[in-house]
Amino acid sequence: MAINRKIQTLDEFTIQQMRNFPQATGELSGLLRDMGLAAKRVHVEVNKAGLVDILGDAGTMNVQGEEVKKLDVFANNQFMGVLQHGISCAGIGSEELDDIVVFDDEVSNQSKYVCLFDPLDGSSNIDVNVSIGTIFSVFRRVSELGKPATKADFLQAGNKQVAAGYVIYGSSTMLVYATRRGVNGFTLDQSIGEFTLSHPDIQCPDTGKIYSVNHGNFFQYEEKVKEYINACQRKNKDNGGPYTQRYIGSMVADVHRNLIKGGIFMYPGTTDKPKGKLRLLYECNPFAFIVEKAGGKATNGKQRILDIEPTEIHQRTPMFIGSKLMMEELESFTQQATK
Ligand code: AHG
């Protein structure tokens, strides 16, 4: 068997990137490697999810006599733990926690970055063996180095992100991250326990045939959004329609598929929840950064996601994200003057 491809692990890749930038301090590379380490630990637990009857349900004792934590709490503790004990992160914000956590020790106060994450997105899908994920976003601090991080470090517009990524725990486990230099994907090779570069320089196809939206909410969407969804279902020789509807209900899986194959994902506001469901800082900003770096677009229907100035850490926003031409088609509906 001819093997002519050099395997490059996540660690080797981040170190290689650093070598190309001799002025880099290695802090961001270290942070990304920390995220990879936590992701491997979460991968192991996610894969045990179906064994819950054997190993014990959340809140009970497992066979070692340890309390079994809910997976999203476990994931939160893993990501927070690696960052707190690493040397690159001054504090975190998590979808699981009410407020930011500032690490406030000598090393952390010197760290340049803060990280926001959703430790286990789509967690309602765990029980039914559907793909779930982790999403993260990294900002350079705006507060003074040497002092504890402040809320202002976390409340920055998405266009200030220095890196963002996600992990998908699916038929294989993948970590995808973006920096200003592009988007790269790593698949967990379980035989060596390492994320290895499998999807270098990911580019989102300019167009596709998939639209992803919760159709159950259709009658609660704005008229222009409904018109666009109706158009997705019509025959259209210019855009290759009708499109195919695919919606997993796990944003990481839905956006990952559309990033690779081309497509559009939408979580619009509804009459009940005008701001939709998704969180700007933990879900929308990181995906907007990744998809834009891969050549796609992301808006809230009126404004680029990355230009929204956040005012609170758990704020929500409508979200439309995907292939460039499909997003422009959507905008031809949403940006029409109201009749
Ligand atoms: P949760 O983590 O509570 O399962 O939420 C998942 C998020 C996101 O991943 C997904 O796209 C969306 O919620 C699905 O929401 P609907 O069920 O309302 O469509």
Closest to 84 (Cα-Cα) out of 117, 46, 58? 117
| 73 or 321, greater pLDDT | 321
Give me the residue label for tokens 């988007």.
Answer: 183
**Euclidean distance between CA atoms 290 and 202, whole angstroms:** 10
C-beta 156 within 6 A of ligand 1: no
* Domain range 10-199, CATH class: alpha beta
Which H or E run includes 137? strand 132-140
**Euclidean distance between CA atoms 149 and 114, whole angstroms:** 8
Please check the confidence at residue 139 and state whether its pLDDT lies above 90: yes
| 272 or 240, greater pLDDT | 272
Which atom of ligand 1 is found nearest the CA of 254? 11
pLDDT range class, residue 54, cuts 50, 70, 90: very low
pLDDT of residue 2: 53
E strand segments, 127-240: 132-140, 161-169, 173-179, 182-189, 194-199, 210-212
Please check the confidence at residue 88 and state whether its pLDDT lies above 70: yes
Q: Indicate the range of 50-59, 217-226, 323-332 predicted with least confidence.
A: 50-59
* Mean pLDDT calculated for residue range 55-67: 58
pLDDT range class, residue 205, cuts 50, 70, 90: very high
The residue nearest atom 15 of ligand 1, judged by CA position, is 249
- DSSP β-bridge partners for residue 167: 134, 175
pLDDT of residue 22: 74
pLDDT of residue 191: 94
Which H or E run includes 326? helix 324-334
Please check the confidence at residue 63 and state whether its pLDDT lies above 60: no
* Mean pLDDT calculated for residue range 42-47: 92
Position 256, amino acid: H
Per domain, the residue ranges of the chain are 10-199, 210-338
C-beta 250 within 6 A of ligand 1: yes
Give me the residue label for tokens 């939709």.
Answer: 276
Of 94, 95, 124, the residue with max ligand 1 atoms within 8 A of its CB, to mutate for a pocket test, comes to: 124
CATH number of the structural domain 210-338 = 3.40.190.80
C-beta 46 within 6 A of ligand 1: no
The residue nearest atom 4 of ligand 1, judged by CA position, is 122
Please check the confidence at residue 56 and state whether its pLDDT lies above 80: no
pLDDT of residue 23: 77
What is the DSSP annotation of 2-49? -------BHHHHHHHHHHT-TT--SHHHHHHHHHHHHHHHHHHHHTTG
